[in-house]
A and B are shown apart, each in its own frame.
Chain A
Amino acid sequence: MITFNINDTEVQAEPGWTVLETARQYEIEIPTLCYHEAVSSSGACRLCMVELKDGSWSKLVASCIYPVAEGINVYTETERVKNVRRWVFEMLLAQCPASGEIKQLAAKHGVESTRFSIKDPDEECMVCGLCTRACEEIVGLSAISMVDRGVHKKIGAPFSRPTEVCVACGCCVTICPTGAMRSRIDAVRGIPKITLTPLAV
């Protein structure tokens, strides 16, 4: 067992755990969007940042990928942590204004409005890539992937066309933390050609 501190309280973790896993074990709240225990962590949303301190030295790390180590001092609610969180939430509120999930989580952490302009009022996707990881790691298909880079990065199937690789399992819809995949899956699997007749009652 590895012993260390979160918010000055001693905690214990199995070797190989991350700080986030340990915090969840002890029911210490750290917000996340792009994290899911079923797939590998990617450290994309940065909401799970925590501060490591050692005397006057300190550093922010993403708790979902930071491996536990003996004797470290982790703080989850410092000013620097809250600063990152607040800005990320504000930017998300402007980027994905249609996502109820994001609004809810942001409000829970005290961010209810954004100073940034909204570009697309219908946007829900934050491009965290949880869906692509689920498709690759759980379903084993890779029907969708990250496309492009930088500000243009998005999720999609090759050539923005429906792909036969997709089996319409819905894994991506279930795992999506913002609700964005609900309206996108048709663009990936294609709209089914036949409508099923509902069973007569």
Chain B
Amino acid sequence: MFNGNVALKTEVNRLNSHTDLNDFRQQILDSYDPDRPEILVCHGTGCIANGSVELTQALKKACQTMGVDAKIMPGIKSTGCQGLCSKGPLVHIKPHGLFYQRVKAKNAEEIIQKTIIENKPVKHLLYKDPQTGELFHKEEDIPFYKKQKRYVLKNIGKIDPTRIEDKIAVGGYQALAKALTTMTPEQVVEQITKSGLRGRGGAGFPTGRKWQGALKAIEKKGRPVYVVVNGDEGDPGAFMDCAIMEGDPHAVLEGLILGAYALGAEMGYLYIRAEYPIAIKHLQIAMEQAKAYGLLGENILGSDFCFNAQINRGAGAFVCGESTALFTSIEGKAGNPRPKYVRSVEEGLWGRPTVLNNVETWANVPMIVENGADWYANIGVPKSTGTKVFCLVGKVNNVGLVEVPMGTPLAEIVENIGGGLPGGAPFKAVQTGGPSGGCIPYHLKDLPVDFDSLTKAGAMMGSGAMIVMDDRDCVVDVARYFLRFLEEESCGKCLPCRLGLSRMREILDNFSHGCGEEKDIDDLMGLAQAIQDGALCALGSSAPNPCLTTIKFFKDEYIAHVRDQKCPAGVCKDLITYSIDPEACTGCMSCSRQCPQGCISGEKKKPHAIDESACIRCGICMETCKFKAVIVR
């Protein structure tokens, strides 16, 4: 169906029992020589953008030219996201356990010579603590990794996601084999329920209860029932589902197959965002391989259980992350949410009982089945069990993929794992939950990050974006940003969402232009209430959250915009002026050359000045200046 043809190179033997799987696993493990080095290069989106593809080629070439090709096994591996995106490209070398960061293609020969041939670390590629200057050799010692608890991300960055053998070697499909041989479908549902797992997509609905709801609907309506993966991760600033699908596609697939077994589904769908071509490719490969080994398709692992799955590529619509819009999209229509007061477990895809779970939720399922509900329920806090993967981005030193137990305090994530802000200042706010979430101010830094605590603070877990903001980020601007985003991404069907979000954004536009009034803040809140109450789907009803939480926690900043016509963060163009500090200006002329308006004048080596009347406040001068001489007020 899908036009990325991936054929297995060699014929494989179907695995027809748990014993077959175990024998095969042993065979793979036996073929590994623990003394032969293995080079793992991160191929997460961030590292690819930083040049890891070129790096891999350079490493391959260096191995050949330096005659160590045969020593490395089984070649250089491209892995999923290793996590510390801001220090990419990342390279991990086994068995030394060495962790290299900011590796460029030009470092390839040095790595082969020093580490592979001489067994020594390349010192300048090791991670250096920015505060203490301490060098770290191994990933597990670096504070960023040391303070995390990686369960979902356990294999990501350690295996080649395009090789099912790598996955089987680390215990892949053991949960499926266990369920098929020792558990009834009801027992699987019971384990998921008892584990306390809640949906990782946003609202945190208990997964077990969803599955039970589907079973009840099946009792009434019979089968077919469908299982669906929601991989339409559209929150700007969030890429954890992308990383999971790219880095450990079999975890998602095994979870889905387990769900299908538990519910008696014969068909499943993976709806993946179009902007994630690598995720689509890796899942496609994973499905082909699983099919070839008899882990997907007819008579899975020699049992009577048959299950097939198909990938649907999204076509660019944030609203398709909403369950009913996602179903309409799979059915081939425009992704408008359905106007129905029926739960999708009863009436989902093609009107049939359907269980839709997010990528991360499905990826949690195998470890629950394998280790048991009690083991899982011990991780995290009582009402939010397990871990959560976050994307830590924005004004923070260690931008990357972070997994912590639910209930971890916010400050622990931002300051200890994230390494704080550049320059060491405290954060101003952390935006969680993307366009549906809210801003948590610094004074709530000890807030435990779990579903209920975040909701109570007016924010939302969302899918897990965590955007750190500092005092140069304007809350009015951020609220405006999310509203503009949703205005474009709204399906446009119901009036409160289509018209209301635009009107809210217009009011905020006025604020940022300095022509708002204090009573407009009350209007904003009244209109927000009408949208929350009146919108058709969750996109609309949660859309006012970023605006409401910023009003709640940063009302002063709103007042500054409307009463004093000032933007304290120096962001809103109409409320700021750029000027040049004559003391700091060296007269290098780079700003005057870059100014699109040509409104910066001054002689060489003498302080420059900006003609305010012609300035369009594009900020290019400030960005260009190496001497911090451009000031914004």
Chain A interface residues toward B at CB < 8 A: 41-46, 49, 60-62, 65-67, 80, 83-84, 86-88, 91-92, 95, 115-117, 126-127, 129, 146, 148-153
Contact = CB atoms under 8 A, between A and B. Distances in A.
B493 A42 contact: yes
Contacts of A86: 530
A110 to B, nearest CB: 15
Nearest to B487: A151
A65 B334 contact: no
Interface string B327-363: 0000000101001110000000000000000000000
A144 B492 CA distance: 17
A115 B534 contact: no
B232 to A, nearest CB: 15
B496 interface: yes
B341 A61 contact: yes
A151 B496 contact: no
A127 B492 CA distance: 9
Interface string B285-329: 000000000000000000000000000000001010000000000
Given A83-B530, A146-B334, A153 B536 contact: no
Q: Which of B487, B488, B499, B503 has the most CB of A within 10 A?
A: B499
Contacts of B535: 46
Contact of A150 (B490, B496, B523): B490
A151 B536 CA distance: 15
B534 A42 contact: no
Q: Which of B498, B503, B530 has the most CB of A within 10 A?
A: B530
Nearest to B335: A149
B490 A91 contact: no
Contacts, number: 98
Contacts of B506: 116-117
A22 B172 CA distance: 56
A150 B533 contact: no
Interface string B473-504: 00000000000000111111111101111110
Nearest to B337: A43
B492 A84 contact: no
B625 to A, nearest CB: 38
A61 B340 CA distance: 10
Nearest to A95: B499
A61 B494 CA distance: 13
Interface residues of chain B: helix, strand, loop or mixed (majority): helix
Given A67-B341, A126-B495, A46 B488 contact: no
Given A66-B341, A84-B530, A44 B495 contact: yes
Please classify how large the interface on chain B is, using the bins under 10, 10 to 19, 20 to 34, 35 or more: 20 to 34
A129 B501 CA distance: 20
Nearest to B541: A60
Given A62-B536, A91-B495, A149 B334 contact: yes
B526 interface: yes
Nearest to B531: A87
A106 to B, nearest CB: 13
B495 A83 contact: no
B576 interface: no
Contacts of A152: 492
B159 to A, nearest CB: 39
Nearest to B537: A43
Nearest to A43: B339
Contact of B534 (A88, A95, A129, A149): A88
A60 B534 contact: yes
Nearest to B341: A66
Contacts of B501: 151
A150 B526 CA distance: 22
Contacts of A43: 339, 494, 536
Nearest to A91: B499
Q: Which of A41, A61, A84, A95 has the most CB of B within 10 A?
A: A84
Given A150-B498, A151-B488, A151-B502, 17 more contacts: A41-B339, A43-B339, A44-B536, A45-B495, A80-B529, A83-B533, A84-B496, A84-B530, A91-B495, A95-B499, A116-B503, A129-B493, A149-B319, A150-B491, A151-B501, A153-B492, A153-B498
B142 interface: no
B527 interface: yes
B533 A60 contact: yes
Contacts of A91: 495, 499-500, 503
Contacts of B523: 115
Contacts of A127: 492, 498
B321 to A, nearest CB: 14
B492 A149 contact: yes
Nearest to A128: B495
Interface string B532-547: 0111100000000000
Given A42-B339, A87-B530, A148 B500 contact: no
